[in-house]
């Protein structure tokens, strides 16, 4: 293979590659690894039972099986699925959507590759366009997706200290001030990696800034309402004609069906659908066929609010107890407020080694985490805080999380005593 710019850009070692490689190996091989890395959702028995029943129904019904496996969808997605999703969002939130406002992608990761490159890069007028992430740290999966270097910018969050061991990030509106090269704002809400949920006020202010500049505001709703609803506080979902809202079937417990959803103005949906045709012809149908009856009946809301959300809320509580118990009072640590998603974000102030080195040391001891530094990209200046954090998933076995918390605390004590 000759070295091309594309190969150089997309085949290098990235955080998301390290994370997904660790994840895939740990999930497939199992073994003694305590898996707090990657973002694999939990296997919730009640939820898996629903997928089992739906799969059996599809297998029993010849026409549905053929619809699932033997036809290409349109590049926009399965029209019946798009209709049923538009109805659900309109019923739930009073939005005025039609199927023309929705497109399916091969997972929302692919959706973001399309969106970030539709929105950023050199314009037809020759002028550079950038996407601004108003609250850094932000999702690792966006960091390497822009085709053109320098297309992604971020602003540091401000830090509110809460009690002795907790904290919360906020958008620093005094520093936000998007310049003319900013062509879109983008946030994940709930935020991966921190479990933060931007307040209604923050979202409305960001939407106002985007509208005033006539640029899209992308809200990544992979963990949000109405499904999978991994939200531990009451917030208003937000959409307006300027907003590009993304969703996914992954955190419902279906990451392997690779189904992402984009809800946006018709011109955005047309652009995404055209890209889908060029890149994939059409996307996978299985997720859409599995989930459509739950969307039509509204059962997806009950499943999300009564099973999935309480499951993760319990797990997050157990995870905090494990960490607080393991660290005790002799080690300086802080945990981000638990407001949603499937992660705890651990801050180790003044950590004497980098979080990347701590990741390596923990891996040697059978604990997989994600080093926090990958979530700080697009910043103007280096920020010491970027090397002091770890992302810990609490989706897997709580006993393993507890063992892992003991090992993390022990390793941090060891590092501090060596310093």
Ligand X SMILES: Cc1ncc(COP(=O)(O)O)c(C=O)c1O
Least distance to ligand X, CB of residue 176, Å: 21
Separation CA 192–CA 344 (nearest Å): 9
Task: Give yes or no for a contact between 341 and 394, defined as CB atoms under 8 angstroms apart.
Answer: no
Q: Is 134 in the site for ligand X (CB under 6 A)?
A: no
Total residues contacting ligand X by CB under 6 A comes to 14
**Binds ligand X (CB under 6 A): choice among 77, 141, 284, 287:** 141
Instruction: Give the three-state DSSP class for 289.
Output: helix
Q: Hey, which residues between 75 and 114 contact ligand X (CB under 6 A)?
A: 107-109
**Binds ligand X (CB under 6 A): choice among 151, 222, 335, 367:** 222
Q: Hey, which residues between 147 and 206 contact ligand X (CB under 6 A)?
A: 188, 192
Residue 337: C-alpha distances to residues 39, 193, 395 (Å):
19, 12, 17
Instruction: Give the three-state DSSP class for 178.
Output: coil
Task: Give yes or no for a contact between 351 and 390, defined as CB atoms under 8 angstroms apart.
Answer: no
Least distance to ligand X, CB of residue 408, Å: 22
Separation CA 210–CA 282 (nearest Å): 31
CB count within 10 Å of CB 68 equals 20
Type and span of the H or E element at 300: helix 299-302
Q: Hey, which residues between 306 and 335 contact ligand X (CB under 6 A)?
A: none
Separation CA 206–CA 132 (nearest Å): 11
Q: Is 139 in the site for ligand X (CB under 6 A)?
A: yes
Q: Which is nearer to ligand X, 188 or 285 (CB)?
A: 188
Q: Which is nearer to ligand X, 37 or 107 (CB)?
A: 107
**34-35/367-368 β-pairing:** parallel
Instruction: Give the three-state DSSP class for 234.
Output: coil
Q: Which is nearer to ligand X, 222 or 408 (CB)?
A: 222
Q: Identify which of 199, 323, 303, 299 has the alpha carbon closest to the alpha carbon of residue 251.
A: 303
Least distance to ligand X, CB of residue 186, Å: 10
Q: Which is nearer to ligand X, 248 or 355 (CB)?
A: 248
Q: Is 372 in the site for ligand X (CB under 6 A)?
A: no
Q: Is 402 in the site for ligand X (CB under 6 A)?
A: no
**Binds ligand X (CB under 6 A): choice among 101, 129, 250, 322:** 250
Question: Which residues in this chain contact ligand X in the complex, by CB under 6 A?
Answer: 39, 107-109, 139, 141, 188, 192, 220, 222, 248, 250, 255, 260
């Amino acid at each position: 293979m000759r070295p091309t710019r594309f190969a150089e850009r997309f085949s290098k070692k990235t955080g998301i590659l390290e994370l997904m490689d660790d994840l895939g190996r740990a999930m497939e091989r199992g073994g003694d690894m305590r898996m707090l890395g990657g973002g694999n959702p939990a296997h919730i028995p009640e939820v898996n039972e629903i997928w089992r029943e739906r799969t059996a129904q599809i297998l029993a019904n010849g026409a549905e099986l053929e619809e699932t496996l033997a036809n290409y969808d349109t590049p926009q997605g399965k029209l019946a699925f798009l209709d049923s999703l538009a109805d659900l969002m309109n019923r739930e939130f009073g939005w005025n959507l039609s199927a023309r406002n929705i497109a399916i992608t091969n997972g929302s990761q692919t959706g973001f590759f399309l969106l970030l490159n539709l929105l950023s890069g050199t314009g037809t007028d020759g002028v550079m366009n950038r996407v601004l992430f108003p609250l850094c740290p932000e999702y690792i999966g966006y960091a390497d997706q822009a085709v053109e270097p320098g297309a992604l910018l971020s602003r540091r969050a401000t830090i509110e200290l809460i009690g002795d061991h907790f904290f919360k990030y906020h958008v620093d509106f005094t520093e936000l001030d998007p310049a003319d090269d900013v062509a879109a704002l983008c946030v994940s809400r709930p935020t991966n990696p921190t479990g933060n949920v931007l307040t209604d006020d923050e979202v409305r202010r960001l939407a106002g800034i985007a509208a005033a500049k006539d640029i899209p505001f992308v809200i990544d709703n992979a963990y949000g309402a109405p499904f999978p609803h991994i939200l531990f506080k009451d917030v208003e979902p937000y959409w307006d004609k300027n907003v590009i809202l993304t969703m996914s079937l992954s955190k419902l417990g279906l990451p392997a069906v690779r189904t992402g959803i984009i809800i946006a103005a018709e011109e955005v949906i047309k652009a995404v659908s055209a890209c889908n045709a060029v890149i994939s012809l059409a996307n996978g149908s299985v997720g859409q066929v599995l989930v459509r009856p739950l969307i039509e009946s509204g059962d997806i809301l009950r499943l999300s609010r009564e099973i999935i959300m309480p499951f993760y809320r319990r797990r997050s509580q157990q995870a905090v107890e494990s960490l607080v118990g393991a660290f005790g009072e002799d080690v300086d640590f802080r945990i981000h407020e638990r407001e949603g998603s499937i992660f705890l974000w651990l801050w180790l102030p003044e950590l004497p080694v980098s979080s990347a080195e701590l990741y390596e040391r923990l891996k040697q001891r059978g604990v997989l985490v994600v080093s926090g530094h990958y979530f700080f990209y697009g910043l103007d200046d280096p920020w010491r805080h970027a090397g002091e954090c770890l992302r810990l998933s609490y989706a897997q076995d709580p006993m393993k999380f507890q063992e892992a918390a003991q090992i993390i605390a022990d390793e941090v004590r060891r590092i501090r005593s060596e310093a």
